[in-house]
Chains A and B, each alone.
Chain A
């Protein structure tokens, strides 16, 4: 596997193998509207949206499109002027806002840790509001510090100003998780940290989410973050109007209009490769020989095939060398002395993006697929990738045509 912590290779595996919309609805927005002053254009215009249990739904869009406003309508930090918001079966507008907010984790970009309270006191805020006893709250605090990767004995009694930006953000996440709320609202939570820390926090958070399985509404203006974090993405235009709502893979394969196309920007095809795995490819036969095969036999095999390279396997059936016609003529050395060593290998669960990267670094411009024990499974060539991209696009298009037809 490649070393980069690239988009989509996150630990939670955003590769779309489960459909988030199969889960029951946790938050239902029904024609929600926010008009600040009569006569002014609405900040949020008749928005209807479902958030399913256990998914990360990312609201993404240009600044000023109303995505933060939409998020803050859910926990009534802003009161809607129209429509309904159903949270876990209850109408939010009929609930006491403070009681509602104690059931919803809330993380904002600038965190807002209480500077005069220790890390433990900060994390214990909601448990204290809910009247937990001290022992339970302390145990929970230590558990959460562990969960976000901060050693409790070191950090429990520190004050927020003694933390780095990344540590403060971890504490912010721990504080939001303190009372184990079913839902988390996150408003550009990783927006204020440097890119390296952000990448690490994103990966940590995806790992955490795989463990805690919260229903999350996540706001960002960064499409790459949206693609990485989202099970589904809602791309919003002005007034919080949904331009496209779908899995990252489908949005990248089939942007519904020019606005979405512009917003996801260049390189969407490459990004889309993160969402397919090598095992999903239909790998064709490839000519292989063993290292003991004679030169004449090998030459014959290569001449009979449509390929330019032969793959030589060792005694354990592991890929060993790439051999070309040139290598076979001219010298009489055995096969393990000629050709080029195989370097670019990928496992079946690697993404197509990983495979492409392996291909580019390979001397033979193709990637060898191996099993977990290192034995040969097949060879991926560039034609396979272009075919996969074509298939993803046509699948997405067909999906939208079906939607259109059933409407």
Chain B
């Protein structure tokens, strides 16, 4: 036969080469995943040591009391977590619905609204949310919302979370839609042709294949939310913004710096969590 015959060893080598190239990429990424928290911890430890060595005025010392900073960090994390969960609960089902044949025609209007949510300046959105929702959470004996949620979360914090959900929906919604739309038509055709239902195709084929793109959107939303949570103090929502404001009012640079550095470290940690999720939730084979 004069047809070229590929030997079994050649066949076995071809994929292995690409495999090792991929593994190389993975090792670099994995190294980054391990190193990032180490670096963050070192920076935090160095800063904390430096802070302890500072001569602080009484005002500054009380603003920087550990339990105050802990409380503010906790609020910052609560705002980030709640708003991100809210974004996921709304944006992912919405993104799925808007890519189904019956929902496609609403995709344009929905994206326009989500775009508008992000186009409004954050400060404005917070104030708007306060104006609209403040009354709902207003202090009164028979306000049900105030008597339930309000017993364990400050009204300002709840309003901040709602505003942030509106603000950060866009990246997750858009990436969910793009992630689902970029799934190859032939793959869906093959699934349908083998007798999978639309639901089975969504769960077993489309969503797993969309995961990398969706996770990128989730990571963006996380970073937006952790940053924006710093503005929650504006409407009494707490968070690390409180430390920064206090420092500015008292002209205490150490306090401002502490608030800023803690915010930055928190944001970088959250981003790191996002990258860990991307690394481990990404399906094999793609």
Contact = CB atoms under 8 A, between A and B. Distances in A.
Nearest to B196: A129
A296 interface: no
A200 interface: yes
B283 A77 contact: no
A98 B186 contact: no
A154 B12 contact: yes
Nearest to A110: B186
Contacts of B65: none
Contacts of B204: 114
B120 interface: no
B192 A115 contact: no
A108 B193 contact: yes
Interface stretch (A99-107, A223-231, A273-281, A370-378): A99-107
Contacts of A102: 194-195
Contacts of A118: 285
Contact of A115 (B19, B196, B200, B285): B285
A125 interface: yes
B9 to A, nearest CB: 11
A159 interface: yes
A126 B194 contact: yes
Contacts, number: 87
Given A110-B184, A114-B190, 5 more contacts: A100-B195, A108-B189, A129-B195, A161-B285, A162-B14
A117 interface: yes
Contacts of A176: 194
22 contacts: A75-B193, A77-B192, A98-B197, A101-B192, A101-B193, A101-B194, A101-B195, A108-B189, A110-B186, A111-B186, A112-B186, A113-B190, A114-B191, A116-B209, A129-B195, A129-B200, A158-B15, A162-B14, A162-B18, A164-B14, A176-B194, A185-B193
Interface residues of B, number: 31
Given A101-B193, A126-B195, A116 B283 contact: yes
Contacts of A113: 187, 190
Interface string A146-190: 000000001000111111100000000001100000000100000
Contacts of A77: 189, 192-193
A112 B190 contact: yes
B3 interface: yes
Contacts of B194: 101-102, 106, 125-126, 129, 175-176
B280 to A, nearest CB: 14
Of B19, B204, B285, chain A has the most CB atoms within 10 Å of the CB of B285
Contacts of B86: none
Interface string B7-30: 000011011001100000000000
